Amino acid sequence: MDVTVDIAQGTVRGQQSGPVTSFLGIPYAEAPFGARRFQAPSAPPSWSGVRDAVTFGATAPKIGYRPPVSEILTEPVVPGEECLNVNVWTPDVSASGLPVFVWIHGGAFVNGSNAVPIYDGSAFARDGIVVVTVNYRLGADGFARIDGAPANRGMLDQVAALRWVRDNIAAFGGDPNAVTVAGESAGAMSVGTLMSMPSADGLFRRAILQSGAGYHVITEATATKVAEALADSLGVQPNVDGFGSVPVEAFVDAQRELGDRVTAEAPTGAWGELAFNMMPFEPYIDGDVVPDVPHRRIAAGAGSEIDVLIGTTSEEFAFFLVPAGVVGYVDEARVQAAIGAYGADVEQALDVYRAQLPDASPGELLIAVVTDWFFRIPAVRVAETRGGNAFVYEFTWRSTLFDGALGACHALEIPFVFDLLDKPETARITGANPPQKVADEMHRAWVDFVLDGSPGWARYGADRSVMMFGDRTGVVDDPRASTREVWAGVR
């Protein structure tokens, strides 16, 4: 059934299916191309008459996943330039004061969109929450340091989307003063960055960070080096005119090639800090939009009023090693090199990890080490700074794919959070017959947190309580304390 809603820009037509009405592809800013390319997001466009909002809007230009990741993650491409858009799911357009859940997608800041099937907001809307999923500019369009362009345009897009929510969500039944911002991977890193950004002050009251925290930004010097390398590969100047002269498709191809180059050359030290995160296009510290490393700002009190739910999966890094078939080729020297590069005491750390995982292969030890350094320890550090105003979880259920070797990998928890185990795309990462019981538990906790700020277990304090979601869901105090202590004073 068609449903129309009047917002500040005009009238939009959505579709009701059962208890949920969806509105797809609503622009929150003008298309960021032509004269608007590499500029801050504009004010929202308006229209006369009724605008259809029944299909997903355009997706931002992106480099795309390659096999084997492309066989696991679904990555829709919707053509068009009006890529700065949002989708809305609501239980009742005539309601008022419903809590709001805003989802920021992941994809290493170069991939992803709000059209991904497992970001469908229907289950949250079914449970009384208005859901908004956001697109933002990716790669160099969103994050490269470009002379003559505002910094961190992708983050400015996210702020613009949150302002759109503030100004329009009441028309869909939502409460603009009860907004929870959530995301996974680069989306969670974005949430941590938003918590630290002055321009995002007051736009949300709760935050959910899944497999990402406030650590993943780069320096302006590194961002400059990346932009100059990209410009050199294209034979243009690293400014608005130079990059703007390159067709979008060629611009994206050059970014893909530069990403491959960074990956190949990073172990030599040629790319400095990029050797640790392999993301050449991500937020950078510009002193204004992103004033400092987000976790430092958070530790100093930024966003102190925001309730936080944060956590990881148990074997995040398996996603990057197992499908590629390289986990079995990792040797002890590679594990030692990783620990040393991260700054921990190699001998001590190896002893602790071996004691924790006595039967692990070198590849499995490397998964544990990198999972901790990249994901788990940053989440713990953010929780520690919250003064008892954070809840911590860990997703432990293991995918059945790759004979179980994929484990509780990166991104595995998303269809459980969204209660979408019946989506065909879900089996591409879970394997057959994932447990609905775990989805029921996890989705309910997220709903409760959005509703009242408590997911149903104790806050992270002296006991370091962590809710483990898996075959045996329950709270564990200070899980893997010994490996956490490996990184004290290091990470």
Residue of 316, 364, 394, 413 with catalytic role: 316
Q: End of a domain among 186, 214, 242?
A: 214
The count of C-alpha atoms lying within 13 angstroms of the C-alpha of 248, restricted to the half-sphere facing its C-beta, is 15
pTM (two decimals): 0.97
Residue of 22, 185, 190, 196 with catalytic role: 185
Both 322 and 471 in one domain: the answer is yes
- Asked if residue 258 is part of any domain, the answer here is no
Decide: 213 and 379 in contact? Cβ < 8 Å: yes
Tens-digit pLDDT profile for residues 391-417: 999 999 999 999 999 999 999 999 999
Residue 288 clears pLDDT 90, i.e. is over it: yes
Q: What is the mean pLDDT of the chain?
A: 97
**Which residues, in sequence order, are bridge partners of residue 20?**
17
Both 131 and 17 in one domain: the answer is yes
Both 465 and 348 in one domain: the answer is yes
Tell me, what's the pLDDT at 361? 97
- Asked if residue 55 is part of any domain, the answer here is yes
Domain harbouring 391, CATH code: 3.40.50.1820
Tell me, what's the pLDDT at 204? 98
410 is catalytic: yes
Both 321 and 209 in one domain: the answer is no
Residue 388 clears pLDDT 90, i.e. is over it: no
Give the confidence band of 266 by pLDDT, cuts at 50, 70, 90: confident
How many domains does one find in the chain?
2
211 is catalytic: no
Q: Give me the helices (H) in 179-292, please.
A: 186-196, 220-234, 240-244, 248-265, 274-277
Tell me, what's the pLDDT at 315? 98
Decide: 157 and 137 in contact? Cβ < 8 Å: yes
- Asked if residue 282 is part of any domain, the answer here is no
Q: For residue 463, give its domain range.
A: 308-486
Both 96 and 205 in one domain: the answer is yes
Tell me, what's the pLDDT at 267? 86
- Asked if residue 291 is part of any domain, the answer here is no
Both 27 and 165 in one domain: the answer is yes
Both 478 and 375 in one domain: the answer is yes
Both 47 and 160 in one domain: the answer is yes
| 446 Cβ contact list (under 8 Å, min separation 6) | 101, 124, 182, 208, 309, 417, 455
| 472 Cβ contact list (under 8 Å, min separation 6) | none
- Asked if residue 476 is part of any domain, the answer here is yes
Both 355 and 472 in one domain: the answer is yes
Phi, psi (5° rounding) for residue 463?
Answer: -80, -10
DSSP at 252: H
Q: In Å, what is the CA distance from 395 to each residue of 139, 188, 210, 212?
A: 29, 15, 10, 14
- Asked if residue 269 is part of any domain, the answer here is no
- Asked if residue 424 is part of any domain, the answer here is yes
316 is catalytic: yes
Both 204 and 315 in one domain: the answer is no
Decide: 391 and 449 in contact? Cβ < 8 Å: yes
Tokens of 244: 């703007």
Tens-digit pLDDT profile for residues 202-250: 999 999 999 999 999 999 999 999 999 999 999 999 999 999 999 999 9
Residue of 216, 410, 413, 443 with catalytic role: 410
Q: In Å, what is the CA distance from 53 to each residue of 13, 21, 22, 25?
A: 5, 11, 8, 6
Both 328 and 471 in one domain: the answer is yes
Q: In Å, what is the CA distance from 239 to each residue of 230, 242, 419?
A: 11, 5, 44
Tens-digit pLDDT profile for residues 137-190: 999 999 999 999 999 999 999 999 999 999 999 999 999 999 999 999 999 999
Tens-digit pLDDT profile for residues 112-132: 999 999 999 999 999 999 999
- Asked if residue 139 is part of any domain, the answer here is yes
Residue 375 clears pLDDT 90, i.e. is over it: yes
